[in-house]
Amino acid sequence: MKIVTVSDVRFIAHRYAQTELAYDEPIPDFETRYPGILESCLVVPFQKFSGRDLYRGFAAKAAILFYLMTEGHPFQRGNKRIAMTTLFTFLYVNRKWLEVDTDEMYEFAVWVAASPERAKDEAAAAMEKFLNKYLVKLKET
């Protein structure tokens, strides 16, 4: 399984969100991010304890990655948009995608982002279930 790196976020996810998803709330430059938080969001999905993954399976890793990128606030603004583009980057580098209606994806992402911090496990589990429902392998081109 391939991971998403800080460089991937900078040059793919952040740049796409900044140029294509700014809407009426521009996303500041990458350098304005909060040091260390992005790095933490990217490594937590792959952490192990006693040799076992804390988040088992692709969808669980993708779900907690999205949750942490949304709730961890590694950026001054645009965290939900960058979380979405980071999730899509993670899916793409692992040859997967989501076959889901755009509105349904948006509504679910907003729900996850609005979930209280004390409901982290429930929100991540719901995200994992959502991903498993719509996750597909990318077709070879």
Q: How many CA atoms lie within 13 A of 4 on its CB side?
A: 35
CATH of domain 6-137: 1.20.120.1870
Q: For residue 23, what pLDDT is reported?
A: 80
Query: What's the length of the chain?
Result: 141
Taking 90 as the threshold, does the pLDDT of residue 57 lie above it? Answer: yes
Other Cβ atoms within 10 Å of 126 Cβ, number = 17
Domain ranges of the chain: 6-137
Counting other chains too, the contacts that 29-37 makes at CB distance below 8 Å and 24 or more residues apart are: 32/75, 32/76, 33/74, 33/75, 33/76, 34/73, 34/74, 34/75, 34/76, 37/72, 37/73, 37/74
For residue 36, what pLDDT band results from cuts at 50, 70 and 90?
very high
Beta-carbon contacts of 108 under 8 Å, excluding residues fewer than 6 positions away, are 127, 130
Mean pLDDT in the chain? 94
Say how far apart CA 67 and CA 73 lie, in whole Å.
10
Taking 90 as the threshold, does the pLDDT of residue 38 lie above it? Answer: yes
Beta-carbon contacts of 79 under 8 Å, excluding residues fewer than 6 positions away, are 69, 70, 72, 73, 113
Taking 80 as the threshold, does the pLDDT of residue 22 lie above it? Answer: no
